[in-house]
């Protein structure tokens, strides 16, 4: 297990984005997100209490054989993660509680893309404190939210579309 002070070995030259999961609960989602991160050349940061063990069989199964290629960090709490953020203005918080869509953001390589836990999303105090940096994925059908792994993929690849595949 990597802590916030240990960097994992990466097979890709640079990180497009830093994907942050706050207290993820479902190992299959995190495994799928790990696989997406490898394919998109993104770091994965897990923050706070997890709803599973990092060595969980479901986590590894969902990430298949890509997990060894993942640039992965685990932070025990928000403060430990936040001290790694060099430019707080380049942190984007994904939520269903705002009107501003991800298509209004101008992503840059190295941006932090933050997602809340599957059952509750981000805490209301985070959304309030960082309201200008909160984004949503527009949904037209009658659902509350998308699956976490799906949401991460949508936002990540919108970011790559904006910065261009040459950055990958």
Tell me, what's the pLDDT at 53?
A: 81
Which is nearest to 43 in space by CA: 2, 78, 79? 2
Neighbours of 125 (CB within 10 A): 8
Query: What is the tens place of the pLDDT at every residue in 52-93?
Result: 887 756 666 665 677 788 898 999 999 999 999 999 999 999
- Are 54 and 111 a contacting pair, CB within 8 Å? no
Mean pLDDT of 10-15: 63
- Are 112 and 93 a contacting pair, CB within 8 Å? no
Is residue 6 over pLDDT 50?
no
Query: What is the tens place of the pLDDT at every residue in 110-167?
Result: 999 999 999 999 999 999 999 999 999 999 999 999 999 999 999 999 999 999 875 4
What's the rounded Cα separation, in Å, for the pair 104 and 127? 17
Tell me, what's the pLDDT at 67?
A: 77
Tell me, what's the pLDDT at 68?
A: 82
SS3 89: helix
Mean pLDDT of 18-36: 94
Tell me, what's the pLDDT at 15?
A: 80
Q: Give me the domains of the chain, ranges plus CATH numbers.
A: 17-163 (3.40.1280.10)
Tell me, what's the pLDDT at 1?
A: 41
Is residue 12 over pLDDT 80?
no
What's the rounded Cα separation, in Å, for the pair 81 and 43? 13
């Amino acid at each position: 297990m990597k802590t916030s002070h240990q960097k994992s070995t990466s097979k890709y030259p640079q990180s497009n984005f830093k994907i942050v999961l706050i207290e993820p609960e479902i190992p299959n989602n995190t495994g799928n997100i790990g696989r997406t991160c490898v394919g998109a050349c993104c770091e994965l940061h897990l923050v706070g209490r997890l709803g599973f063990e990092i060595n969980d069989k479901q986590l590894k199964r969902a990430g298949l054989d890509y997990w060894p290629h993942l640039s992965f960090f685990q932070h025990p709490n928000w403060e430990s993660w936040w001290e790694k953020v060099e430019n707080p203005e380049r942190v984007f918080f994904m939520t269903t509680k705002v009107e501003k869509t991800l298509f209004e953001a101008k992503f840059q390589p190295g941006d932090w893309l933050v997602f809340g836990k599957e059952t509750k999303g981000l805490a209301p105090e985070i959304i309030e404190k960082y309201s200008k940096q909160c984004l949503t994925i527009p949904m037209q059908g009658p659902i509350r939210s998308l699956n976490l792994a799906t949401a991460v993929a949508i936002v990540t690849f919108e970011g790559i579309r904006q910065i261009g595949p040459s950055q990958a």
